[in-house]
């Protein structure tokens, strides 16, 4: 497996079932992300993506949104930045960053700068992410370029993919959703067309490193054909 993409659902339910505030579920979820990065590093994955916050999640209102942003900022500063420095991780943020808090934007650029020359595993954080918006903004850039160059040739997927947020990243080999639902919630629609899909009832804060070792093992047993005859 080169690239594993995780939909980290179930933080809220984890907290509520314990009589806690939803935000403590997000804080616990951040600790689970740290465990998952360690496990992915041990399994020598090239890339691991976390779906942290969608554009749809803004519907939850200011309290939850700003609470999640503060937890994410703390995680980036205290957990991810040290890993970028000690383990040579690369970090990519995908999404529309325009609506993020200024504190979050500050630490995002700090993490980006710190990992600039690294060659290790890539950690991708999808925040303010919408798959449909990603496609629309890529098409807008393409149209602009084509007009500038008076280029009337038809667009290919290869061209389009260069303007997706995920340009130059391998497509996810597997998408793994926690929290019991079997849906993708606007996550990487073009990049996951050939991904293996895994769903678990487990709530994200309950994630343990062993779960990831087992997933990689289960993945290895899958015969992938990509439309070809089985070899
Ligand atoms: C996933 O947990 C994290 C985000 C979407 C930000 P949820 O907050 O969606 O948790 P549930 O689904 O309400 O349990
Ligand atoms: C999916 O979780 C999005 C993220 C993990 C960021 P949601 O809790 O937002 O998904 P829906 O709304 O139940 O589909
Ligand atoms: Mg949810």
Report d(CA 6, CA 198) in Å as an integer. Answer: 9
As given in the structure block, the two tokens for residue 98 are 């325009």
| Whole-number CA gyration radius for the chain | 18
Task: Name the residue among 101, 122, 102 with its Cα closest to residue 112.
Answer: 122
Distance 227 CA to ligand 3 centre (A): 33
What pLDDT digit, counting tens, does each position of 75-132 carry?
999 999 999 999 999 999 999 999 999 999 999 999 999 999 999 999 999 999 999 9
* Helix residue spans in 43-130 (DSSP H): 62-75, 81-87, 102-114
Report d(CA 231, CA 91) in Å as an integer. Answer: 36
As given in the structure block, the two tokens for residue 186 are 């606007």
Whether ligand 2 lies within 6 angstroms of the CB of 7 is answered as: yes
Element at 128 (helix H, strand E) = strand 122-129
Whether ligand 2 lies within 6 angstroms of the CB of 49 is answered as: no
Report d(CA 218, CA 223) in Å as an integer. Answer: 11
* Helix residue spans in 149-199 (DSSP H): 157-161
Q: What average pLDDT score do residues 177-192 get?
A: 98
The atom of ligand 2 lying closest to the CA of 126 is 6
231 pLDDT higher than 90:
no
Q: Catalytic amino acids?
A: 9, 57
Distance 19 CA to ligand 3 centre (A): 17
Domains and CATH numbers, the chain: 3-130+171-220 (3.40.1180.10)
Which of 6, 7, 8, 12 has most ligand 1 atoms within 8 Å of its beta carbon, as the pocket-test mutant? 12
What pLDDT digit, counting tens, does each position of 135-175 carry?
999 999 999 999 999 999 999 999 999 999 999 999 999 99
Paired residues of 124 in beta bridges: 49, 92
Distance 114 CA to ligand 2 centre (A): 29
pTM above 0.85, yes or no: yes
Q: What percent of the chain has pLDDT over 70?
A: 100
């Amino acid at each position: 497996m080169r690239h594993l993409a995780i939909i980290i659902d179930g933080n809220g339910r984890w907290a509520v079932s314990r009589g806690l505030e939803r935000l403590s579920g997000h804080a616990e979820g951040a600790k689970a992300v740290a465990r998952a990065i360690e496990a992915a590093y041990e399994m020598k994955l090239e890339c691991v993506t976390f779906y942290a916050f969608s554009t749809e999640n803004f519907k939850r209102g200011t309290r939850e949104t700003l609470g999640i942003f503060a937890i994410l900022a703390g995680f980036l500063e205290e957990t991810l930045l040290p890993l970028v420095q000690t383990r040579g991780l690369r970090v990519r943020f995908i999404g529309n960053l325009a609506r993020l808090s200024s504190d979050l934007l500050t630490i995002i650029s700090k993490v980006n700068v710190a990992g600039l020359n690294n060659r290790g595993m890539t950690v991708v954080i999808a925040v303010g992410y919408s798959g449909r918006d990603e496609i629309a903004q890529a098409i807008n850039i393409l149209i602009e370029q084509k007009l500038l160059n008076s280029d009337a040739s038809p667009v290919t997927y290869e061209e389009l993919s260069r303007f997706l947020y995920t340009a130059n990243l391998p497509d996810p080999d597997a998408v793994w959703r926690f929290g019991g639902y079997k849906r993708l919630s606007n996550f990487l629609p073009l990049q996951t067309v050939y991904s293996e899909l895994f769903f678990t009832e487990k709530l994200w804060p309950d994630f343990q490193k062993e779960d990831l070792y087992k997933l990689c093992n289960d993945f290895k047993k899958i015969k992938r054909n990509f439309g070809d005859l089985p070899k």
